[in-house]
Structures are given as C-alpha cells and as structure tokens.
Chains A and B, each alone.
Chain A
Amino acid sequence: MLELRDVKKSYKEPDGGTLPILDIPHFAVKEGEQMVLVGRSGCGKTTLLHTIAGISKADAGKILIDNVDIAGMSEAGVDRVRAKKLGYVFQTFNLLPGFSALENVMLGMTFARGRKDRQRAEQLITRVGLAHRKTHKPAALSVGEQQRVAVARALANKPSILLADEPTANIDPRNQQNIIDLIRETCREEGVSLVLVTHSTEVAGQFERVDKLEDINKIK
C-alpha cells in the first residue's frame, strides 16, 4: 500500500527563489486499489508520481510504500525500492530501442538484481497479447503494442504499486480503451495497486475512486 504524509515538494527558480508544487497532508492508496488522479495541466500530477517513485526527492514528509518510508532513505535505497516495489508506465512508453520486446520486459528484472525470470517475462508478454512479437524491437511495433510492452515491463518485478502517467495520451482512440482495460486487468490479477494519471474524463469515469489533485494538494 501507499501512503503520503505531509509531503512537500518545491522547485528552485532561476532567480534563486522557490516554487512550491506539492503540499499534501495525506494521500493513501490501499493494497489492490485502483484510482485515478486528475487535475489541470501543470498542477503537479507528474511531479507527484515522480516523488512517489523517488525519482524526485520530497522536501519534507513521509512516503510509505508497504509501510517503508522512502523519503528518509539513501538514494541507493530508494533505487532498490523503486526497482522492486514500483512499476512505472510512461506516456511516451520509453522502451529501450536496442532491446527486443521480451528483453525490455526483462530489463526491469535486471535492475532489481534478483533472478531474471524469463518464464515470467514470457507469461507477461503473452498476457499483453504480444507473444508473436516478443523478439521484435520497439521500432517494429505499433504505439499500442509498445505501450503493452511497457505495461508488461512495469509489472515484471511484481510491484506493489503501478504508477501510470497518462498511458493513453499518445494512443489512438480505438486502442485507448484496450490499454486501460489491460492495465486494470493485469493489476487486478497481480494484486497491484494502481495510481493512474489522466486527462480523459472517459477513462476517469470508469474508476470508482477519482481524486482531483487540487483537492488533496494545498498548493493551488
């Protein structure tokens, strides 16, 4: 599960001043829960996901992932937690071009420093419907297929939480629903909590819990 307590994050401005972005007294996602985070552009949705993932360090507060506070950890410790406990699906997929679909899935396993479970990677690639294209490089896949690979990669290490940052923004409308369905189904099957950022009201409308960032963030 995920819990944020009094998390604050600001950026330094070129003139030396600080620009506060996040000030979240409390935010929590239960185990296996699927929720959507919405908000206007520039309100700090991506910054919040980066902060949860430890990609950006919070200025203050606690970020508990499975009751372990990563905000107080060393950077190397955060890297390990990110590798093992978190999955990340990007809007631009971010697959590594030199690796095949299957290898991209296994890349996540590499950085978790555990055993590279090829069988699980194959299962995941089959689950996202790309068994026949597992040896293809990203350039040979359609955008929908690339995002499917990204989903499989995010789930490779059996994370507790999957963070998805506008995963359908670059996908044609016909495939958008398929991706959302895939993310939700796989998260359900794996028992993974889901925090999904979207601008789409259609997507948001499918979730029981929809949080508006402006509501949980003191910075307006």
Chain B
Amino acid sequence: MYFLDLLQIAFRSIRQRGVASLLTMFSMSLGVTLVVAVLSIHGVVDRSFRNNASLGYNLIIGGKGGGEEQLTLSTVYYLSRPLYPVSGNYYLEFMSREERDKQMVHSFAHRSHEASTIVNDIRQLTSLGGPLELLADEALDKVEQRQDAQRADLDRPGMYSHLTEFAIPVCLGDYFDRFRVVATNTELFDSLVYDIENQRKFEFAQGRNFHHFDQEHTYFEAVLGSNVVREIKTAIITFDCEGDVDLAQSQLAGTSSVAGVKREDRTLIVTLLSSLEGMSKVPESDKFKLTQFRIERRPITLGDQFSPSHGFKGGGAHASKFTIVGILKSSGTPNDRAVFINMEGFYLMEGHSEPVDEAKQLKSQAEEMAAIDKLPTEKRHQAWLDYVARVAARETGPNQEPLAVEQRKITALLLKTPITATMDMDKAVNRGKEAQAVSPIRVIDGLFGVFINPVRNTLLLLTTMICVVSGVSILVSIYNSMSERRQEIAVMRALGAGRSTVMTIILLESTLLSIGGGLFGWLVGHVGCLIASPLIEERTGVSVGLNLWGDPFFEPLKRFGMEGGWAERIVIPMEWTLVPALVLLAIVVGLWPGVTAYRTDVAKSLGK
C-alpha cells in the first residue's frame, strides 16, 4: 500500500508538470518505437525467411549460372532474377522408374514406336519422288536420330531417385501485372507442407488447385495468392462507338492483361485484369468516336482469365489465357504475392518452347501436300497459299499437346530428401556439370549472418542511443523541476517522509516517465508496423502484421552461460527485455535528481 501511495505521489507530480512530462515521455516513446520497429520487423523477417526457407523441402536444385543466394532468393522469395534453367531430362533423374516412365509419355523416346509406323506411312505418301520426298527424308532423318538417342534412356530410375522423397518443379520468368508467375505441378498445393511446425499445407480461400488436365480449361488453369487478389481488380468496360469498332476495341484492350472480350451488337464488353493504371484515359482516334464509355470495377474472382506477360514486368503478353480456378488463403509467405499456373500450360505458351511432335506433324503435312499435288494446275496455286496460311496459324495458335520432356526447361526443383541423404545429394548434384544443389536454410542463415544481423545490430545500437538520449531528457526534465520542488520535498520531509522516501518518489517519477513513454512507443511501434505492413510486404514479400508478443525470442539463461533444462525451456520475446531496460535506464537517470532530493536541507528549503 505504502508503495502505491508513493507511486500516486509520483504520478501526481508528473501530472502537475503536464506539458513537460508529456514531451519527455514522447521523446522516450520515439526511441522505444524505433527499437520495437527494428525488433519487430527483423523478427518477422527472420521467422518468415526461415519458415519459407524450409517449405517442406530441404534442397533447391537449379542451374549453375549464378550464385546460391540468387537461386534461393529467386526460388523461395521470388525476389531476384531466376538462374539459367536445367533441362527437363535432368528433372527426371530425381524420379523413380514408374514416375519417370509416366513423364516420358510425352517424350520423343516414348513416341518413337508410334513414329516408326508413321514414318513408313509418310514414305509411302511421298514415294512419288521429287523435292517433296527429299524434304520428307531430311525431316524424318532428324526425327529418327533423336528417337534413337532417347530410346536407350527409357525404363530406368532417375539417378538421384533413391535419395529423393519428392521433387517439385518450378518454372519462372513470366509476370501477371507486377506479380511473379510460378509454373509448377499440382504437388505444390496438394502435398507440400509449408508450416512444418504445425503441419499446415497451403489452403484455398476459394476454388481449388489447378488440375493437371481439365476438360474445360485443358492445361490453362491458375491459382492466385491472397495479395494478388487483394490488389488486382477487374474492370468491365462497356462502350459504344462509331467508326472502326475493332480499332476502338484493341485500343481499349491495349493492355497486357486482356482477359476476355464480348461483342454484343455495337457494344463491346471488355474484361481487363490489370491494375487499371492508364485506363482512366479514354482512347481517341480519327478512325472511331466513342459515344458511350463506362468502367465498372470489381475484385478479380474465380472464372476470370488473364494472360501472363513475358520475361519482365510489363513485357509483351502471351496469347494464351489462363482461367483462375483457385484463390489461396493468406499464409504470410511470399506465395501470397505469386500467381501459380499449370506447368504444362506454361510450356504450351508461345515463346517458351514450341511443342514438337514432328512425326505426326510431318505426316499431316505430307498428306496435305500430296492432296494438293493431285489438284488441277489452276487450283494448285491457291491451294498452296491456303496451305501456308494453315501452317502459320497452327504454329502460332494454342497447342493442346504437352511439350516433349526433352524440350522442357525447369528453373528450379524443390527437393525433399531423407535428412541423412541431404549431404550426399548435395555433393552428388554439385559434382555434376548441369546443376547446383543449395540448402535454403544454410543460405538464409548465411545471408542473415553476413548482412541482416549486422544491420539489425547497428539499427538497435542507434535506437538504443536514442533511448539513452530520451533518458537524459527525463533527467533534465526532473532535474530542472527540482529547484521549484525543493520546498515540496521539504514539506514532505516535515510531514514525516524520510530521505529514502523522497528519493524513491523521484525514482518512481523517472520510472513512470520512462515506462509510460516506453508503453506508448511500444504501441506506436506495433501499430506503425501494422500500417507499414502492406508496404513491407510489397517490397519484401514478408507480412509483418500486428506482431504484439511475437518474434524475436531469446533464451535469457543461455546468455548467462547455462545449458540444457531450464535454459532451454525459458524462452521470452526480446521485447520483454525493454521493461527491465527502461526501468534500469529510469533508475540511472533518476539517480541524480533523486540524490538531490535525498540531500535536500529541509530547514533551509521549508522557509517559514
């Protein structure tokens, strides 16, 4: 009770000097805000990096064209440029015999048997002789050579399959608006555990995972991360125009993210999936005049379509359209800001790699050419022109046949090995010429040790200095008040308060200012982090949120050299150390005015 009474006296004294006290507390709160922000952001970044670095896999396999940091950052965090990819065949080296053979369905080798009969058919069709036969011979030789080379590589397990629990392929390079497009297979969401501690998989807020093959959308299905959905809107543009409607339509839809166009009489409904930047400007031209123009916005949703842009943000759009079939729940990982598409669809997009089923293609072409050859001379010219146009259309149009394994490239493989085999796998892959194996946890630890921890420590040192300066301001504030409070102190002494009592009151006052300012700073720090969270997330892919009692944690007993038992069990948030630190600071800075109060000469200060 006595202590509470003294606390009340200290509080009243602070209130008595309202503005000065508030300013002093504010200065302390600024310091603590910065400490909290540094700790909080660093803690969340640390946790998020480490969590993501062990998204259920322990190795990343990628090309050798860059450093392991680049491979980790680009694969796990989608931050850096992807490395040069590894071949599709290399990917198969991580599969069992059964899986490998299944993948090889779309390989040249698998098709060789079928091709051999087709080759015979083509030879019969082109047996008329002349340049057509020479053309066919040349092309078929190429096919046969490749088939021979691949044939010997069938019916065996991948060379690393005995060390592999699973291998998930990832292809990077495209963007949807400003978000990375990640081409992968269904395993990423079906099997992968992203939160190892709680055994959580990625969950869907809406819809479902993309199918390997869907009757309606074939290979062109997509899943969006939660941030993508939050940030990208759909615009439905309705307009009517006079003049060149097609030109008006193309100018209105002149964005990389045209999703769909409906034409109803002379009214066009264009659905765009983009950030809508620039769409507020209505296109103008001599060739058309818009008589009606309206934009309705709504959040992007299931069923909407989009075309990834190629290579870099704002790059040219692919013609292929992916249909959104799923939206992920927020997981606080970089996957929140990524767009996932079916890898098979990715390969089928123009510009990535053209699917070549040369045997079938050649047979078809040979049949057509043979038919044209039999036509009367006067029709033959037009028939050849039509034929060339058809071939061109086929080459640029969407292809529904999966790309041959031999033509595939894979940016990275997310690999899970038995723990005991990780080192062996690491060494085995790195000995080879094609790829490198990287342990993401080791890389992230390295990055933290070399870059992030020293930065954090420097920031903490600076912010601690700010707190110390704030502490000095408390000292100055209380000390300045001492001359006017000398009489107050003397009165308290005259009423029976001992020297230690008045000193305690001063120390409590200093502690209240320090803790009060600290508490306010703590709140401001966390709320500030919450407010800045979207910006941080946008820049780094790490969701900070309201991390009130969160990271970073530390084991205080271990700091005193204790090991095991309680030293392991007692784990506290680092922020908690702010409380004793602020109290200690308050006592140190309150000591000087406290001693002044202690030494107050009552008789002299009391007056009459």
Bound pair: A and B?
yes
Contact (Cβ within 8 A) A83 B12 = no
Query: In the bound complex, how far is the Cα of B487 from the Cα of A46, in angstroms?
Result: 16
Chain A residues whose CB sits within 8 angstroms of the CB of B608 once the complex forms:
46, 90-92, 165-166, 169
Query: In the bound complex, how far is the Cα of B28 from the Cα of A169, in angstroms?
Result: 45
Chain B residues whose CB sits within 8 angstroms of the CB of A165 once the complex forms:
608
Contact (Cβ within 8 A) B496 A82 = yes
The contact sample of 16 A-B pairs, CB cut-off 8 A, is A46-B608, A53-B494, A79-B496, A79-B498, A79-B499, A83-B495, A90-B607, A91-B608, A92-B607, A94-B606, A96-B492, A98-B15, A108-B495, A110-B6, A116-B1, A166-B608
Given A55-B602, A90-B606, A153-B495, are A96 and B501 also a contact pair (CB < 8 Å)? no
Chain B residues whose CB sits within 8 angstroms of the CB of A56 once the complex forms:
603
B residues 1-55 near A (Cβ < 8 Å) are 1-2, 5-6, 9, 12-13, 15-16
Chain B residues whose CB sits within 8 angstroms of the CB of A153 once the complex forms:
495
Query: In the bound complex, how far is the Cα of B606 from the Cα of A46, in angstroms?
Result: 11
Any chain A CB within 8 A of the CB of B240? no
What is the distance, in angstroms, from B9's C-beta to the closest C-beta of chain A? 7
With A50-B603, A56-B603, A166-B608 already in contact, 14 other A-B pairs whose C-beta atoms are closer than 8 Å: A55-B493, A55-B602, A79-B499, A91-B608, A94-B494, A96-B492, A98-B16, A107-B9, A107-B492, A108-B496, A110-B9, A111-B495, A112-B496, A153-B495
Chain B residues whose CB sits within 8 angstroms of the CB of A94 once the complex forms:
487, 491, 494, 606
Query: B interface vs A, CB < 8 Å?
Result: 1-2, 5-6, 9, 12-13, 15-16, 487-488, 491-501, 602-603, 606-608
What is the distance, in angstroms, from B362's C-beta to the closest C-beta of chain A? 99
Q: Mark A26-50, 1 if CB is under 8 A from B, else 0.
A: 0000000000000000000011001
What is the distance, in angstroms, from B494's C-beta to the closest C-beta of chain A? 5
Contact (Cβ within 8 A) A55 B2 = no
Query: In the bound complex, how far is the Cα of B488 from the Cα of A107, in angstroms?
Result: 12
Any chain B CB within 8 A of the CB of A129? no
Any chain B CB within 8 A of the CB of A12? no
Chain B residues whose CB sits within 8 angstroms of the CB of A97 once the complex forms:
16, 488
8 Å CB contact of B13 from A47, A84, A98, A166: A98
Query: In the bound complex, how far is the Cα of B505 from the Cα of A110, in angstroms?
Result: 13
Contact (Cβ within 8 A) A110 B5 = yes
Q: Which 6 A-B pairs have the closest CB atoms?
A: A83-B496, A91-B608, A111-B496, A98-B16, A98-B12, A79-B498
Chain B residues whose CB sits within 8 angstroms of the CB of A79 once the complex forms:
493, 496-499
What is the distance, in angstroms, from B261's C-beta to the closest C-beta of chain A? 75
Query: In the bound complex, how far is the Cα of B15 from the Cα of A47, in angstroms?
Result: 34
Chain A residues whose CB sits within 8 angstroms of the CB of B487 once the complex forms:
94
Closest to B17 in A: A98
A residues 64-116 near B (Cβ < 8 Å) are 75-76, 79-80, 82-84, 88, 90-92, 94, 96-99, 107-108, 110-113, 116
Most central of B487, B499, B608 by chain A CB within 10 Å: B608
Chain A residues whose CB sits within 8 angstroms of the CB of B492 once the complex forms:
96, 107, 111
Interface size on A, residues (CB 8 A): 34
What is the distance, in angstroms, from B61's C-beta to the closest C-beta of chain A? 71
8 Å CB contact of A75 from B1, B488, B495, B498: B498
Closest to A153 in B: B495
Chain B residues whose CB sits within 8 angstroms of the CB of A166 once the complex forms:
608
What is the distance, in angstroms, from A49's C-beta to the closest C-beta of chain B? 10
Q: Mark A153-164, 1 if CB is under 8 A from B, else 0.
A: 100010000000
Contact (Cβ within 8 A) A116 B5 = yes
Contact (Cβ within 8 A) B9 A55 = no
Query: In the bound complex, how far is the Cα of B608 from the Cα of A166, in angstroms?
Result: 8
Closest to B2 in A: A113
Chain A residues whose CB sits within 8 angstroms of the CB of B9 once the complex forms:
107, 110
Contact (Cβ within 8 A) A82 B494 = yes
What is the distance, in angstroms, from A151's C-beta to the closest C-beta of chain B? 14
What is the distance, in angstroms, from B487's C-beta to the closest C-beta of chain A? 7
Query: In the bound complex, how far is the Cα of B1 from the Cα of A146, in angstroms?
Result: 28
Query: In the bound complex, how far is the Cα of B9 from the Cα of A108, in angstroms?
Result: 12
Query: In the bound complex, how far is the Cα of B603 from the Cα of A96, in angstroms?
Result: 17
8 Å CB contact of B488 from A90, A96, A111, A157: A96
Query: In the bound complex, how far is the Cα of B603 from the Cα of A47, in angstroms?
Result: 8
Query: In the bound complex, how far is the Cα of B491 from the Cα of A91, in angstroms?
Result: 12
Most central of B13, B496, B607 by chain A CB within 10 Å: B496
What is the distance, in angstroms, from B508's C-beta to the closest C-beta of chain A? 13
Given A110-B2, A116-B5, are A55 and B606 also a contact pair (CB < 8 Å)? yes
What is the distance, in angstroms, from A85's C-beta to the closest C-beta of chain B? 9
8 Å CB contact of A88 from B15, B16, B495: B495
Contact (Cβ within 8 A) B494 A55 = yes
Query: In the bound complex, how far is the Cα of B495 from the Cα of A113, in angstroms?
Result: 11
Closest to B14 in A: A98
Chain A residues whose CB sits within 8 angstroms of the CB of B15 once the complex forms:
98
Contact (Cβ within 8 A) B494 A88 = yes
Chain B residues whose CB sits within 8 angstroms of the CB of A108 once the complex forms:
495-496
Query: In the bound complex, how far is the Cα of B497 from the Cα of A108, in angstroms?
Result: 9
What is the distance, in angstroms, from B606's C-beta to the closest C-beta of chain A? 7
Chain A residues whose CB sits within 8 angstroms of the CB of B495 once the complex forms:
82-83, 88, 107-108, 111, 153
Closest to A87 in B: B495
Chain A residues whose CB sits within 8 angstroms of the CB of B13 once the complex forms:
98
Closest to A113 in B: B2
Query: In the bound complex, how far is the Cα of B491 from the Cα of A108, in angstroms?
Result: 10
Contact (Cβ within 8 A) A99 B498 = no
Closest to B497 in A: A111
8 Å CB contact of B498 from A76, A84, A88: A76
Chain A residues whose CB sits within 8 angstroms of the CB of B6 once the complex forms:
110
Query: In the bound complex, how far is the Cα of B6 from the Cα of A111, in angstroms?
Result: 9
What is the distance, in angstroms, from A84's C-beta to the closest C-beta of chain B? 7
Query: In the bound complex, how far is the Cα of B15 from the Cα of A79, in angstroms?
Result: 27
Closest to A165 in B: B608
Chain B residues whose CB sits within 8 angstroms of the CB of A90 once the complex forms:
491, 494, 606-608
A residues 96-154 near B (Cβ < 8 Å) are 96-99, 107-108, 110-113, 116, 153
Most central of A79, A111, A116 by chain B CB within 10 Å: A111
Chain A residues whose CB sits within 8 angstroms of the CB of B498 once the complex forms:
75-76, 79-80
Chain A residues whose CB sits within 8 angstroms of the CB of B488 once the complex forms:
96-97
